[in-house]
Amino acid sequence: MTEQQTITATPKYNFPQPAIETSLPQRFIELSIHSLKHVQNRPFQLNQQTFQQNNQKEQIQAGRVELQHIPLKRRLEETAVAAVDTSSIKIGETSKGILIAVRGASIWKKKRNYRYLRLGPFIFHITDENRKEVYNTLQMTYFNSSYEQNRQSSPSLFQMPTRIANLLERWLQNTLSKTVSNGLILFDGSLTSGIADTPSQRMKEILDNTRKRDNVVLAFSKMTTLRLNGYLITDVLLGYKPPYLFELSGLKPKPPIVLLGDVYVARLTKGNYAFRLDIDKKVPVERRVESIEKLLGNDLLSQSYPETLRLAHIFCTFTANEVIAMQHFIARKYNLKIINRPDMHRLLFGPFGKGESCS
Amino acid sequence: MKIYKKEGNILQILSFPNETIEKGDYLLIEDGDDATKALIVQVIDVQFANIPGILEELLRSLPDGGEVMEGEDFDPLEIAPHIMYIQDARLLTCKIRATIENESLSPSSSWLPSRSRSIIKKLPLPTLLKLAKTDGKLPIILGGTKDASLLTIDASSLDGRLNIITGKKETGKSHLSKLLIPSLVRYGATVVVFDLNGEYISLGMTADGRRNAYHHKVHVLTPSQNFKVALKQLNLHVLLNILIHALHLPGTSAREFRRIWRSLKETGNLTMHELGEAIRNWRCNQHVRDALFSRYYALVNSGVFTDNVAEGMLLEESLFRAKKEGGAIIINLRNTSSIDRQIVVEYLLGRLVELLTSWKLKAIFLFAEEAHLYLRETYWDDIVTRMRHFGIFTTFITNQPDTIRQNIYRQADNIFLFNFTNEHDLEVVSRAARVDAETVKSVARDLPPHYCLALGKVVRDFPMVAKVKALDVKTMGETRLFFKDMN
């Protein structure tokens, strides 16, 4: 049913290794197919609404924050750059639950070329009955712990797409951390842990593995809610000539939130774009700056954002065409009858009803 | 396939990659609920369906400086083929051609089948031809269709009709004419061909130069050689038509000529020699005499006119033989000058009208290649109005559609259209009354050489594409090439 990944190792970076851990994707497939079997011959309602992987509001106090300007220079020493991203989307509703799809992508840059590994899409039928089972099975498979052990409550039905995608993302990150050597691993988001989908222990393990192979994790957040004197941290201090970093020291997260990285504002190219950048706390400060300078010398940067990470996002994002294809697949393979329930917003408010997603 | 949209008599149908539908194909749309009714539509254009997200999909596949990015997809559920399937979905633009109701066809498009429950399938051309009843007692096989069936028309659908064969150079117009002529002859028809380039003179020969079954029915008449006219055979008005229309004789001079003619006829001296003498000695204005002399010498120099009545009998003999057993009279205008061509055509058309008016001939099929080179202005209207009633049924063959007058297109009953790429040419042809502009513009543009779009009564107004069948006829009229032997 499932295939062993046929990934050829690149001699220089030894990435990804043939002996890559495949138990998670296998479990994903098994669970995916198992969950879909229960949905056979049912009517399902198409849904245009997509799940955004919303960042939870960061419970971090930026009280007495000190800023330190760090100018950067490009370092051209050849360094592997790899990035991971995942996405999830709701593709429909059934009478008992929701149909979701998740997909993940790893991108790595080899000399001047980018390569990709894309996993998925994995389609799940999540119901109130099976959501715990699905989530726990996936957790157990890879992290050897169930959600119940850590939390009192299980993720709600509508949290499931992001949670499953998150699980896949952590797995991909861990895989990269075990396969790339002397490289830069780019994460999408921050290194904030202790929140529901990012337990501290798990994140620490990933970072530990990364350091063991002399890699540095650079986590870029597209959006941040961190503010300094009422302004978003990415909107202040744009007066310097890029590329540069600003280190924000003295940030105090509210427990149980833990910052596993030090927070920086990175403005790497001309233009008014800056991003929050988290760099592993346990990496020496000099190495952090060196890593960013290596990123400048080894990856394309457009609007201050690394191309490798941008590609990872592009490769995992679902297009409308793919959503239609997945709906077609489900309808064909599992004989689901597509129904169109009326949109109550449209029904009640006519042209003033903008649909559920905009409610 | 699913119905997507209807606007006017255009129906848009969503088709998937496993359904191989091409431009020109016919589809039958049956209503899921009402089995007695069905819609016949023809595909006039095939486009990619406007799938949301397709641009992102394509951009994603080429993100690395225009080169395809290398990588691996681990797609355990095998969704990729479904993505391709959706990406390659096509939108068929179809023209509603007819409605079948209780097994009879009607051109109405007022009825619309269900969008969700209708069953759409390809309508094989033989089935359509059977439904349209295009086959009759006098079948002519035009050629093969895309689905390997034969497109057969009935010779009677050319009878009494005005036809146009048009298309750009070297697409097979003359080839189709050479197919139609023997087919009509086979059914006993009399065919007259104005052969501008000597292309039809070997219709009676096979490709390897042997005589074919029509050899004795093909009569090639070459002006000034075996096609001559004795003045005694001529009616005054035919000759006056030649003088006025082909040789532009002024009215005053024409009046004097009429007097000369009558005088000669009364004395029984209607010969070329006597005509010359009469003009010389006639009491008239010197300018009139000069005008008459210049036209007289033009007639003499054409070599068409003779005093030997026996020499001038071949045309009528050929026509009467053709009347009995069917035959083609090929008027070889290959080495004939422009003026002489007009003299010959004026004479021939005048003579044919005489013979048809007196019922000495029943009707003739006239094939005219590049008629603008020899047909005078006033004849165009005559052909679509008057001549049809005499029994002259014309087929125009041209690669310059704008040389045929608009009213000819409007009244054309059948059009055999070969490839055109020029917008202007397509625009001209699309003015024909029996066809819609969209079909002409969309289908004709993509026709390969030797493929013809048949429009009009021959196909009961169901436009059909066929590859004109090969002929075992000696090819003439090939372009002479300088480098032919060097290659």
- Coil, strand, or helix at residue B285? coil
User: What is residue B63's predicted lDDT score, i.e. its pLDDT?
Assistant: 55
List B395's β-bridge partners, or say none: B163, B367
Q: Give how far A105 is from chain B: nearest CA, Å.
A: 9
B149 φ/ψ angles, rounded to the nearest 5 degrees: -100, 170
* pLDDT range class, residue B484, cuts 50, 70, 90: low
- Cis link prior to A256 (omega < 30° from 0)? yes
Question: Which ranges of chain A have pLDDT less than 50?
Answer: 1-20, 48-57, 146-148, 152, 356-359
Residues A128-139 as b/e (b if ≥16 CB within 10 A, e otherwise) read eebbeebbbbbb
DSSP H helical ranges for B268-328: 272-281, 286-302, 314-325
A326 contacts B71? CB cut-off 8 A: no
List B166's β-bridge partners, or say none: B398, B417
Least confident of B273-277, B451-455, B474-478: B474-478
A325 inside 8 A of chain B by CB: yes
Residue B381 pLDDT exceeds 90 = no
| A249 membership: H or E segment, kind and range | strand A244-249
* A261-267 and A275-280 beta bridge pairing: antiparallel
Q: Give how far B52 is from chain A: nearest CA, Å.
A: 5
Q: Give how far A144 is from chain B: nearest CA, Å.
A: 24
| B70 membership: H or E segment, kind and range | strand B70-74
Tokens of A261: 């990285």
A322 contacts B74? CB cut-off 8 A: no
User: What is residue A20's predicted lDDT score, i.e. its pLDDT?
Assistant: 45
User: What is residue B229's predicted lDDT score, i.e. its pLDDT?
Assistant: 86
Region B445-459 average pLDDT: 88
- Rounded to 5°, the CA angle A43-A46-A50 comes to 140
Region B218-245 average pLDDT: 87
Residue B91 pLDDT exceeds 90 = yes
Residue B85 pLDDT exceeds 80 = yes
B contacts of A123 (beta carbons < 8 Å):
77, 79
By a Cβ cutoff of 8 Å, what residues of chain B touch chain A? 51-54, 56-57, 60, 63-64, 69-77, 79, 82-83, 85-87
Q: Which residue has the higher pLDDT, B3 or A21?
A: B3
Q: Which residue has the higher pLDDT, A265 or B135?
A: A265
Distance, C-alpha B307 to centroid of its chain: 38
Q: Give the rounded percent of residues in chain B with a pLDDT score beyond 90.
A: 15
- Rounded to 5°, the CA angle B417-B422-B424 comes to 90
CA distance B469 to A64: 91
A337 inside 8 A of chain B by CB: no
Pair B218, B205: CB distance under 8 Å? no
A116 inside 8 A of chain B by CB: yes
B contacts of A33 (beta carbons < 8 Å):
77
Least confident of A36-40, B24-28, B327-331: A36-40
Q: Give the rounded percent of residues in chain B with a pLDDT score beyond 70.
A: 95
Residue B364 pLDDT exceeds 70 = yes
Q: Which residue has the higher pLDDT, B479 or A18?
A: B479
DSSP H helical ranges for B111-153: 125-132
pLDDT, tens digit, for every residue of A63-86? 566 677 888 898 888 899 999 999
* A113-127 and B70-74 beta bridge pairing: parallel
* Chain A residues 26-65 with CB within 8 Å of chain B: 28-29, 32-33
Pair A240, A273: CB distance under 8 Å? no
User: What is residue A306's predicted lDDT score, i.e. its pLDDT?
Assistant: 92
Residue B143 pLDDT exceeds 70 = yes
At what angle are helices A320-333 and B54-61 packed, to 10 degrees?
100
Q: What is the DSSP letter of B246?
A: I
Region B420-445 average pLDDT: 81
Residue B166 pLDDT exceeds 80 = yes
CA distance A214 to B337: 94
User: What is residue B172's predicted lDDT score, i.e. its pLDDT?
Assistant: 84
Q: Give how far B86 is from chain A: nearest CA, Å.
A: 6
A258 inside 8 A of chain B by CB: no
Which residue in A has a C-alpha nearest to residue B70's C-alpha?
A115
DSSP secondary structure letters along A190-215:
--EESBTTB-HHHHHHHHHHHHHTT-
pLDDT, tens digit, for every residue of A37-62? 666 655 555 554 444 434 444 556 55
Candidates B74, B85, B88, partner chain A, best to mutate (most A CBs within 10 A): B74
Candidates A85, A321, A330, A337, partner chain B, best to mutate (most B CBs within 10 A): A321
* pLDDT range class, residue B136, cuts 50, 70, 90: confident
